[in-house]
Amino acid sequence: MNIFTTLLTQPLANGLVLFYKVLGDNMGLAIIGFSLFLRVILNPLTKPYMQSMKRMKDLAPRLEKLKAKYKDDKKGMALAQADLYKQEKINPGAGCLPYLLQIVVLIAFFNVFTRTLSPDGEIAGRFNELLYGPLKFSADQIVNTRFLYLDITKPDAFPVSGLPFAIPGPILILAALIQFFSAKMMVPYVAAEEKLAKKTKEGADDIQVAMQKSTIYTFPLFTVIFGLRFPSGLALYWLLFSASQAYQQYRTSGWGGTTPWLKKVGLLKS
């Protein structure tokens, strides 16, 4: 096994199977339980990143003034911005490394699903390649992959007669919608950066803003596209991951760009 498998994929596979055996031999419940457990463990890694983003947002008005003052002096702007961060004791990169580590864990969990939850009936054998001795399945043991309407090994999708593609199922759609909602909460950060970008002559700022705005739509779209091809266990995990991420985003920055929508449907007061 390579280092990535030994340090990440294998422990995650063992954790998933441990929850499977504790929660009545149900892989759907195991994914839910283990996903929530992982979010609790990984929450301290994401929190500094969210707090850093909030503090950067609070500095937006002062950065706007600096950009107006140094609009023709790129070097002076960089120095003034660095001094401002130093004065406010803000490290723009604070929390980024732990957040990236969380993404690595997500990729490792994705590897667990694609490596073990295959519809060919060899699930126990595939898991046993990653499991520690006490958790290994017996040779004749059948892993229960049924959960609600899902077969965890197959995509959350419904083929439609006459159409060349399948329709995404409710869990996959809900995961994409929650991801979109979470990204929309961050719009105040994007909006502030867009306002600042218009005051600078360089095109780099405008490109960054455009990329930030595009991710609001592209990430949920990719979730659906990939979800139509991979085991629905991954969609279930992604639903829980996105929901907890949205909650953490709300705790850090409030409703953000979703505020107008919530007011329109009467969930928030004007």
For every residue of 164-189, DSSP letters joined together read: SSEEEPHHHHHHHHHHHHHHHHTHHH
Q: What is the pLDDT of residue 189?
A: 46
Q: How far is CA 66 from its chain centroid?
A: 33
Q: How far apart, in whole angstroms, are the C-alpha atoms of residue 168 and residue 156?
A: 6
Per-residue confidence band for 22, with pLDDT thresholds at 50, 70 and 90: very high
Residues 146, 28: contact at Cβ < 8 Å? yes
Question: Which of 10-19, 48-57, 157-166 has the highest average model confidence (pLDDT)?
Answer: 10-19
Q: Which two tokens stand for residue 196?
A: 């600042």
Between residues 26 and 43, the one the model is more confident about: 26
Give the pLDDT mean for 66-76.
Answer: 82
Give the pLDDT mean for 257-267.
Answer: 77
Q: What is the pLDDT of residue 94?
A: 58
Q: What angle do CA 77, 80, 82 make, to 5 degrees?
A: 105
Q: Which two tokens stand for residue 142?
A: 């059948």
Q: How far is CA 14 from its chain centroid?
A: 22
Q: How far apart, in whole angstroms, are the C-alpha atoms of residue 172 and residue 182?
A: 16
Residues 109, 12: contact at Cβ < 8 Å? yes
Give the range among 148-152, 178-182, 212-216, 251-255 with minimum mean pLDDT.
212-216
Say what the alpha-carbon torsion angle 173, 175, 176, 178 is, to the nearest 10 degrees. Answer: 120
Q: What is the pLDDT of residue 64?
A: 80
Per-residue confidence band for 99, with pLDDT thresholds at 50, 70 and 90: low
**pLDDT tens sequence across 198-242:** 555 544 444 444 555 666 778 788 888 888 888 888 889 888 888
Radius of gyration of the chain (CA): 22
Q: How far is CA 77 from its chain centroid?
A: 33
Q: How far apart, in whole angstroms, are the C-alpha atoms of residue 192 and residue 60?
A: 6
Given a cut of 80, is residue 33 above it in pLDDT?
A: yes
With 0.85 as the threshold, say if the pTM is over it: no
End-to-end, the C-alpha distance of the chain in Å comes to 57
Question: Which of 21-25, 89-93, 236-240 has the highest average model confidence (pLDDT)?
Answer: 21-25
Between residues 259 and 232, the one the model is more confident about: 232
Element (H, E) at 226: helix 204-227
| % of the chain with per-residue pLDDT over 90 | 19
β strands within 120-159, DSSP E: 146-147, 150-151, 157-159
Q: What is the pLDDT of residue 214?
A: 67
Q: What is the pLDDT of residue 13?
A: 94
Q: How far is CA 241 from its chain centroid?
A: 6
Q: What is the pLDDT of residue 97?
A: 59
Alpha carbon distances (Å) from 30 to 15, 23, 103, 184, 242? 9, 6, 21, 30, 18
**Which neighbouring-strand residues pair with 115?**
none
